[in-house]
Structure 1
Amino acid sequence: MRPKEVIFRIAKRVGAFALVRDSEWRRLRLLILCYHGVSLRDEHEWNGELYVTPAHLRERLRLLRDRGYTILPLDEACRMLREDRLPPRSVSITFDDATVDFERAALPILREFRAPTTLYLTSFYTEFRIPVFDTVLSYVLWKGRGSGAEVGALCGSPDPLPIATAADRERAHARLRCHAATYSLDALAKDALVARVAACVGVDYAEILSSEILQLMTPASVAALPHDLVNVQMHTHRHRAPRERVLFRRELTDNACRIIEMRGADSRLTHFCYPNGEYRGDLLRWLSEFGVEFATTCLPGIASTHDHPLLLPRFVDNCLQSPTTFEAWASGFAALLPKSRQYRIDDDLLRVGASG
């Protein structure tokens, strides 16, 4: 058991969670929850850092309801935070990427608990009925881990690339991605590469495609999401943040245009989520120029007026987070503990292009 888990359990037992949860200090803060995916089958077994089960999400929302937390739409909550009008125990929910499982697995649970959600949409793969390359490649390698196969020949590697262990798969994944980048493979060519990998390791790729796991929602599905429950916001078009201003602006413009096409001309796009949680000083300036008012990171924390509105922290919930840890963050107690350097804002990153 991790030391922090021990601290959390003791704190809960002696009533510290309740004390912080009901404090004025907590009322002045907003917990922003981050989710990536909700399993349709075995995705949580493949990657418990990205996927939770439907039961996991339901239990989290039940805890928030039973403990009297107020789940607010993120846009409303951010404005109330700025104006010191938050109700006690405020929480907002966000989902990144907009994969098919959001519609099929997450949305029914969000409806059940009437939990408003911000959905950050990365829009490029909505135009294709194929999975996102990086994630499906990792999934296929994991599915084929017991095959005894190696995939070196598929990317011109002079050495065998076995996939039996997690370290093996990480190495193979990196080499295959490098191969795709070296030959500038487009989305369809990348998908063909994944199909060859699947055949090599004994995985039924046609079945994966028909299941639609790891695919983004279709434009029609995004358009049909209930406006009173789901607010679709920006996450770049191609899930990347170029270092050139014109290219980054193109990412935002392409993303915004696709969202407006799906959600309507009256869409108010003032929120952004950094792809892979990667922020930089130049991005803050470019986001402001584009009219973005609030942006979220993947740095753990509970938002307050002390945070830069374009560097809001989130608690990334996943299968590795225990119920006690989740409650520690919901109450605010976890935010009182010291953070290691890797979980704090990196001033060096903020200096990147900050004056350019």
Structure 2
Amino acid sequence: MKRALIRTAYRIGKLAGLFALARRITRRRLRILCYHGFTLDDEAAFRPSLFISGETFARRMRTIARKGYPVISLDEASRLLEQDAIDRAPVVITIDDGFHSTHAVARPVLEKHGFPATLYLTSYYFQQGRPIFQLAIAYICWKSPLTEADLSGLGLDEGDALGRVLLDGEMRGELAKQLFVAACATFDSPGRIAFARRLAERLQVDYEAIIASRKLSLVSPEELRELADSGMAIELHTHRHLLPEELDAGLREIADNRAVIEPVTSKPAQHFCYPSGIWSAARFPALRMSGVKTATTCEPGLARHGADMLALPRVLDDSRVSQIEFEAELSGVSDLYRDLVGASKRKAASLSVYGNWVAETALPVLAA
């Protein structure tokens, strides 16, 4: 109900000219848009916080083009921020993780408009060339046509204790979490692949179709080269989709990530995105020692001169965000509202629109 009221208020405000006014007021603030995956099939129904349809993404880009927002590179934006030279309400487009759909769906849309973009690539599954294990387990539990199943004998250390389980509503999500944790504790990387196949067979889901569709897989090295050749900047998102606070572990994550990216792109990777939006000042030393120029969070908002360049906010866009909400963020209306409610209530104000984003999109990776 609250979100419906917000949307209604936005529509009224737009008709009254408040969106145009907000754009002028916030013209010296940078809009950094955040996307993840783009739908090839039913991904948005499975995980609406992570995927957006190609049609919706194309509509968002048409809106930006039609309304005349300048789209600039992240590299240029960081320079303008530091020089206090942001003007005309510029937009930066960023895409996290590196799903295959970035190449298959987003690239043609961006090329049509001539928009530069930044892809933050997490590299473990890029090297593996197979579905992200956590997402595969969750998708199998979500996709199963069964209402109950016997999950004993799957080879988990705790597996036989599962026995017969119900597959109903939120139980599917909870079951997926339980299976993911148990499988990571039991198997190495090849063992997890075999487990996913066994689970899919038990729950009557076509695992080969998941592999063939690449809906839960990342871009290939060839596709990454094509993205880089098209002008997309390929930047850092850690190797295993996590950034520990401990210095040596943090440095390792960035170094391992960079060692995969730079040989493909032949360009230095100097910008960073926190995995799952989990960030803290304790992680800054590893970033600084690694030569990172900027780091983006998943804190909603527009970036301004004077902001910490290692904690830049973004505008999160996904299947749950309506067109009017997107335009409210783009115009700056939402950011002005966050200013109005004050820093102590900014998170609550953002959750009214975005929900518990970090919890729904966390993709930890346990490398063998």
TM-score (norm 1): 0.90
1:165 is paired with a residue whose SS is coil
1:310 is paired with a residue whose SS is coil
CA contact (8 A) 1:163 1:172 kept: no
In structure 2, the residue matched to 1:354 is none
In structure 2, the residue matched to 1:46 is 46
1:92 is paired with a residue whose SS is strand
Q: How is 1:265-344 mapped onto 2 (pairs within 5 angstroms)?
A: 267-337=267-337, 338=341, 339-341=345-347
1:71 is paired with a residue whose SS is coil
Question: In the TM superposition, what whole-angstrom CA distance separates every residue of 1:79-110 from its partner, at most 9, and x where no partner exists?
Answer: 11221222302111000011111111111111
Percent sequence identity over matched residues? 34
CA contact (8 A) 1:33 1:317 kept: yes
Task: Identify which of 164, 168, 180 aligns with 1:165.
Answer: 168
In structure 1, the residue matched to 2:185 is 182
CA positional deviation for 1:44 = 0.9
In structure 1, the residue matched to 2:244 is 242
CA positional deviation for 1:268 = 2.6
In structure 2, the residue matched to 1:259 is 261
Task: Identify which of 13, 16, 20 aligns with 1:14.
Answer: 16
What 5-or-longer segments of structure 2 have no aligned partner?
351-368
CA positional deviation for 1:220 = 2.1
Question: In the TM superposition, what whole-angstrom CA distance separates every residue of 1:195-227 from its partner, at most 9, and x where no partner exists?
Answer: 111101100111211222211111222122244
In structure 1, the residue matched to 2:215 is 213
Partners of 1:246 and 1:60 lie apart in 2 by 40
In structure 2, the residue matched to 1:352 is none
Task: Identify which of 200, 206, 220 aligns with 1:204.
Answer: 206
CA positional deviation for 1:129 = 2.5
Partners of 1:259 and 1:188 lie apart in 2 by 24
Partners of 2:64 and 2:153 lie apart in 1 by 50
1:298 is paired with a residue whose SS is strand
Question: In the TM superposition, what whole-angstrom CA distance separates every residue of 1:43-89 from its partner, at most 9, and x where no partner exists?
Answer: 11111111111100000000111111111111111211221222302
In structure 2, the residue matched to 1:353 is none
How many residues are matched? Answer: 339
Return the letter of the residue paired with 2:165. Answer: P
CA positional deviation for 1:297 = 0.6
Return the letter of the residue paired with 1:234. Answer: L
Is 1:114 matched with 2:117?
Answer: no
Partners of 1:250 and 1:179 lie apart in 2 by 26
CA positional deviation for 1:316 = 1.0
In structure 1, the residue matched to 2:138 is 138
Return the letter of the residue paired with 1:168. Answer: M
In structure 2, the residue matched to 1:89 is 89
CA contact (8 A) 1:68 1:89 kept: no
In structure 2, the residue matched to 1:100 is 100
When residues 223 and 91 of structure 1 are mapped into structure 2, their CA distance, relative to the original with a 3 A threshold, is same
CA contact (8 A) 2:138 2:177 kept: no
Partners of 1:12 and 1:152 lie apart in 2 by 56
In structure 2, the residue matched to 1:61 is 61
Partners of 1:326 and 1:115 lie apart in 2 by 18
CA contact (8 A) 1:271 1:295 kept: yes
CA positional deviation for 1:172 = 0.8
CA positional deviation for 1:6 = 2.6
Partners of 2:310 and 2:166 lie apart in 1 by 40
In structure 1, the residue matched to 2:358 is none
Partners of 1:202 and 1:310 lie apart in 2 by 45
Between 1:71-80 and 1:137-146, the stretch displaced more is: 137-146
CA positional deviation for 1:325 = 0.3
1:297 is paired with a residue whose SS is strand
Between 1:2-11 and 1:321-330, the stretch displaced more is: 2-11
When residues 276 and 157 of structure 1 are mapped into structure 2, their CA distance, relative to the original with a 3 A threshold, is farther
CA contact (8 A) 1:300 1:343 kept: no
Question: In the TM superposition, what whole-angstrom CA distance separates every residue of 1:305-350 from its partner, at most 9, and x where no partner exists?
Answer: 2421111111110110010000000000101113444578xxxxxx
CA contact (8 A) 2:122 2:237 kept: yes
Return the letter of the residue paired with 1:90. Answer: P
What 5-or-longer segments of structure 1 have no aligned partner?
345-356
Superposition RMSD in Å: 1.8
In structure 1, the residue matched to 2:359 is none
CA contact (8 A) 1:299 1:343 kept: no
TM-score (norm 2): 0.87
When residues 112 and 164 of structure 1 are mapped into structure 2, their CA distance, relative to the original with a 3 A threshold, is same
CA positional deviation for 1:152 = 5.6
